[in-house]
Amino acid sequence: MVEQAEGRPLARAIGMPKEAAGDWQDLLGDIRLTIQHHNTPNSGLLHVPTIDNLLRPHLQDYLHNQSIVTASNASTIAGSYDVPLENDALPRDKPVIIEISSDRSGAGKTQLLYHLTCLALLPESWNGINLEGKDGAVVFIDCDGRFDILRLAELIESYIKHRLSLALHFCESQKAARADNLQGLNSEDHDQDHEDGEIEEYLHLLLSIDSFYITELAEYVLTHLHVYQPASPGELLDILSSLPTYLTSSPSHTSHNNPLSLLIIDGISAFYWLQRSLSAPQKYPPNFQSSSADAPPILPQPQISLQSCYEAITSSLIKISTRFGANLILTNIQIPNANHTPATSTISSYHHGSTAGGPIPPTYPKHLPACYTYSPKFLSARIILSSDVVAPFHADIEVRDAWKERDLRMDVVQKAGVSAWVEGAGVRKGENRRDKAEGGWFWFSIEEEGVKIGADEEEEEEEEEEA
C-alpha cells in the first residue's frame, strides 16, 4: 500500500514543488482507495438479508431519481448515477444513504446502529466460522453523546458466540446425518472416511474456541472504529471536512488500510434547536459591555443559517459516500406537534417482517431543511421505527375470554420489540408518498445478548445447512 511516508520522498525525488505536495497526497490517497475498492468483494447493502430485501426496490427508485437530476442539470452532480434496468442487481459501487428515525427516544435506533456496526467491522469469516462481516472501518459520529463502547463490545462478542453456535450445530447435524446414511453401506469407503475426518477436524477447531479468543477478536475489530462526539454544528462540519484527509493521508491510525464500510451520524438533528436559535435574527442587543473604555465595540458575529448548515452537511456526506464507496446511516427523531400521535403497533397488528396487513406506516421527520428531507439526490431510503405495545383488554371483555387469551398475550409481551417500516426517500414536498414503491415491515427485538432481526436466525440456520 502507498502511504504518506512513501509519498513525501517520492514527491521530493521528482522535484515537485511544496505547494503541490497536498495534491500529490490526495492523488496517492485516491489510488489507495481504488485498490481497496477493487480488492473488496461485492458486500451487498447492510449484510442483513431481511432489511436488504426491503431496501433494494427503493434503491432502484433512488438511482432513477439520480439520473433525472443529472439529466436536468448542465453540470455533473456529485454522486450522480446511471439508470439501472428494472431487474438488475444494484452495482456494488453505489453506496446508500439511509435515515433511521422514530417519534421518540429509546425506540431502538442506537441499538440497531450497534448491530450494523458489528457487521461492518467483523471479517467475513474467522476460524472457519461464517461471520458475514465486511471487514472494514466504521466512522461513528455521536451527536447525542450517548455512545456506549462497552455495550457495542458486548454485542460484538454475543454475535460471534451466536455464529459459533450455528457452526457447531451444523457440524453436529452433519455428523448425525452421515451416521444414518452410512448404516448398511461399505465401511471401507475411503472418501467417506476422509469427509468424516474433515468434519471431526472442523468440530475440534470450533470446540477449541473459548471466550478469550472471542474477546480478542472483538477488541481487534474495535480498533477500526473511529468515534467522534461533536458539540456544535460547526464541530460536525469540521469533522466531515477533515475526514477524507484523515482516512487517506494519515498512516498513524490503525485502519489506514481498511476500506470505509460505514459512516454513521447518530442524531443528525441534535443541534437543530441550537442552530435555529443561532440563525434567528436578534431582537435585542447583548446585555453586557466591556469594562474598558478603550475596548472596541462588540459587533454581531455572522451566523450560518439552518438551511446553509444542512446544505454543507449533505454536500460533505455525499462527497464522502461517493469517494469512499461507503454506506451512510443517519438517525433522526420526529419533533411532535399538536396533531402528532405516537406510532405504535399492537397485538392486533403483530407481525414478523410482513409487507402487508401491518400497522399504518408511520410518518418520517420533516423538520429539517428541504435539502435534507426532500432532496432526490441525498437520502436513498428511510427506516421508521415504532415501538410495539400490547393492546389492553376491551372494557367489556368477559373474564372467561380474558383467561383464554392469557397465553397468547403473555407470548406477545415477551416478544414485543420494535416494528420498522422501510420506504423510499426523495419524495418532493407536496407529493404523495403512496405513489412511490410500496414499503415493507420488518421486526426486531433488543435483548441483553444482542439485536434479533426478524427471522434471521432461521435463515442463518438454513444457510449453514445448505453450505
Higher pLDDT, 315 or 172: 315
Q: How many domains does the chain have?
A: 1
8: in domain: no
Instruction: Give residue 302's pLDDT.
Output: 55
Q: What is the pLDDT of residue 347?
A: 39
Question: What is the residue-averaged pLDDT of the chain?
Answer: 75
For the record, the C-alpha cell of 289 comes out as 459591555
Helix (H, G, I), strand (E, B) or coil at 386: strand
Banded model confidence at residue 212, pLDDT cuts 50, 70, 90: very high
> Euclidean distance between the first and final Cα of the chain, in Å?
34
| Residue 23 within a domain | no
The residue segments making up the domain with residue 92 are 40-280+301-466
Residue 46 lies in a domain: yes
Q: With respect to residue 33, please indicate whether it lies within any of the assigned structural domains.
A: no
The whole-number average pLDDT for the span 331-343 is: 68
Query: Does residue 84 lie within any of the structural domains?
Result: yes
**CB environment 315-328: b (16+ within 10 A), e (fewer):** ebbbbbbbbbbbbb
Specify the pLDDT at position 354: 42
pLDDT digits 0-9 by tens, 277-317? 766 655 555 554 545 555 555 455 456 788 899 999 999 99
Q: In 269-345, which ranges are E strands?
A: 327-333, 344-345
Residue partners of 443: CB distance under 8 A and separation at least 6: 351, 352, 353, 388, 417, 418, 419, 420, 453, 454
Least trusted range by pLDDT, from 144-148, 289-293, 389-393, 405-409: 289-293
Mean pLDDT lowest for which of 25-39, 51-65, 297-311, 417-431? 25-39
| More confident of the two residues 229 and 181 | 229
Give a yes or no: residue 294 inside a domain.
Answer: no
Does the pLDDT value for residue 448 go beyond 60?
yes
Please compute the mean of the pLDDT values over residues 172-184 and round it to a whole number. 71
Q: Is residue 70 part of a domain?
A: yes
35 domain residue, yes or no:
no
Q: For residue range 85-144, what is the model confidence (pLDDT) as tens digits?
A: 444 444 444 788 999 999 888 889 999 999 999 999 999 999 889 999 999 999 999 999
pTM for this structure?
0.75
Q: Domain containing 186 — which CATH number?
A: 3.40.50.300
